[in-house]
Amino acid sequence: MKKKHVLLAVACGLLVFLPLLGVTYAAFTDKGTLAGSTFNVGSGDLKILNNPALGIELSNLVDEKPGPTFSNINPNWHQDYGLKLYNNASSPLGIFSNANYATANDPDELRSIIYVEIFVWTDANSDGIIQESEIGASKGNKTITKWKTEGIDLGTIGTGELKSYVLRFYTLASFPDSKQGKSGIFDFEFNAIGQ
């Protein structure tokens, strides 16, 4: 009987002590919260200088501009087109270029006889006019067809950096007479990928 009283006393003591332990535990716990944390992801903001001679001015930075018109294309023809790209993003960007076209805009497949070669351009006097001495290393050359399917890697452009390129369009020594008098329309894209 003495054992029962001891067990009963221990059980009663535990019943009283355990809730107090929980209250004590609750009294010594707490948490801190960072409520409404905001995260802003940087953007891949690649801009084209509308006028290569004007430099980096907000009014001169565009996402798209009309492309050049080339006339009287014949065997051994070439023409250069200057392009300046500006990284307006918060991080470095990889630049990859492609041609883009709808087959309906080139029914006579001029894309298979016109080539492009992209060169680094150092516009030494910042006048936006290409001088032969300012044309640097080639980034690659392809027909417009291959430019669409394979593209050309132009490397990396740092934050706030301006890079200049010469797009040299050309034809080889001969092409079929069936191409004479024909025309095609193509877009040239410069895609930015965050690094």
Q: Quote the pLDDT of residue 29.
A: 60
Q: Quote the pLDDT of residue 185.
A: 92
Give the tokens for residue 27.
């009294």
Is CATH 1.20.140 the right assignment for the domain spanning 46-194? no
Pairing status of strand 187-194 against strand 61-62: unpaired
Q: Quote the pLDDT of residue 42.
A: 52
In the predicted model, residues of the chain with pLDDT beneath 50 are 37-38
Q: Quote the pLDDT of residue 195.
A: 82
Model confidence pLDDT, tens digit, residues 109-162 = 999 999 999 999 999 999 999 999 999 999 999 999 999 999 999 999 999 999
What is the domain partition of the chain in residue ranges?
46-194
Contact 115, 141 (CB under 8 A): yes
Give every CB contact of residue 155 below 8 A, 6+ residues apart in sequence: 94, 95, 139
Contact 190, 151 (CB under 8 A): no
**HEC letters along 157-174:** ECCCCEEEEEEEEECCCC
Pairing status of strand 93-100 against strand 152-157: antiparallel
Q: Quote the pLDDT of residue 38.
A: 46
DSSP calls for 69-93: ---S--TT-EEEEEEEEEE-SSS-E
- Which residues, in sequence order, are bridge partners of residue 115? 143, 170
In what side-by-side order are the strands of the sheet with 135-143? 61-62, 46-49, 78-87, 162-170, 115-121, 135-143
Q: Quote the pLDDT of residue 153.
A: 97
